Amino acid sequence: MAVTAKLYGLFLKSLANKEIDLDNDTLKVMLCTSSYSPNQDTHQYKSSVTNEVSGTGYTAGGKTLTGVTVTYDTGTNTLTLDADDVTWSSSTITARYAVFYDDTATDDPLIAYWDFGQDEVSSSGNFTLTISGSGIATITAA
């Protein structure tokens, strides 16, 4: 199955209210089980996210993103949020979703989530999110 990336709709509200600074804040990614039901229209803060994974090699709250960049492509009128790949080494976890959020802001505003389309499992191995190049999410100016 293909991974689908979706922005939380209220991410734009958080940007407009200056709750998120993509260039300077600490952005993180956490993993959730298939029991989490993302809601693009109502989930605005990390407190709305349920069923975070637990297991060997995984720390609650997820991992800090490194190499975060925000670029605008004038040819395609797209803004892309990108970061380095993230790996949970020697982990034993099962996840269906990756949830990206701003850990600097007071309420931890949500940015985007990835739906893997099925449970992804690591068993005493690496669980890697390949982010670099394709990005976390893209917004098109229409």
One-character DSSP codes across 62-91: -EE--S-EEEEETTTTEEEEE---EEEEEE
Say if residues 26 and 111 touch (Cβ distance below 8 Å): no
pLDDT in tens, 21-70: 999 999 999 999 999 999 999 999 999 999 999 999 999 999 999 999 99
Element (H, E) at 137: strand 137-140
pTM above 0.75, yes or no: yes
pLDDT in tens, 78-124: 999 999 999 999 999 999 999 999 999 789 999 999 999 999 999 99
- Give the domain ranges of the chain: 4-140
Determine how β-strand 69-73 pairs with β-strand 63-64. unpaired
pLDDT over 90, % of the chain: 93
Distance CA 44, CA 10 (A): 5
Distance CA 104, CA 13 (A): 17
